[in-house]
Amino acid sequence: MYDIYIHMFDLFQNVFLDTTDPRTEYSRLFAFDVAFCIVINICFYAVFHYLFVKVFVLPDKTVLLIYCLLAIMILGYIARLARSKSVYDTYRYKGYSTTEAYQQTIRDIRGAYFTWYFIG
């Protein structure tokens, strides 16, 4: 059972690395592992939302939340990859070499996402 969790975390990390890499093609976003990550995240958030609603006796809008999360996550993966490509193109435009632009983009994008995860 422990191995399943480790492989799932590996999967999440691989998807994160691929979707923050400016060299990744947009077609990568249509892979099974990306869809799996979206579904797992939606399930996780929906369960916590449902428990929160039940504990505090609030109106249950879990289905609406699921639809909103689905749209946000799909658009979020596209936007994250687009932002990575944009940052890379900006560095190239500013005169950085291909290697320098790539390395700086990776530092900027991945550093920003990990900072926000840990602040939360």
Task: Give the mean model confidence (pLDDT) for residues 12-33.
Answer: 95
Mean pLDDT on 60-78:
95
Q: What is the pLDDT of residues 26-67, one digit of tens each?
A: 999 999 999 999 999 999 999 999 999 999 999 999 999 999
14 pLDDT above the threshold of 50: yes
Cα–Cα dist 47/67, whole Å: 14
- R_g of the chain computed on alpha carbons: 17
Give pLDDT, residue 119: 47
Distance, in Å, from the CA atom of 50 to the CA atom of 59, rounded to the nearest integer, reads 10
Domain ranges of the chain: 2-119
Confidence (pTM): 0.87
For residue 120, pLDDT beyond 60: no
Query: What mean pLDDT is predicted for residues 80-93?
Result: 97
Where residue 57 falls (left for φ over 0; alpha for ψ -120 to 50; beta otherwise) is: left
Query: Residue 102 — very low, low, confident or very high, per pLDDT cuts 50/70/90?
Result: very high
Structure tokens of 108? 């900027």
Torsion of CA 116, 49, 33, 9, to 10 degrees: 60
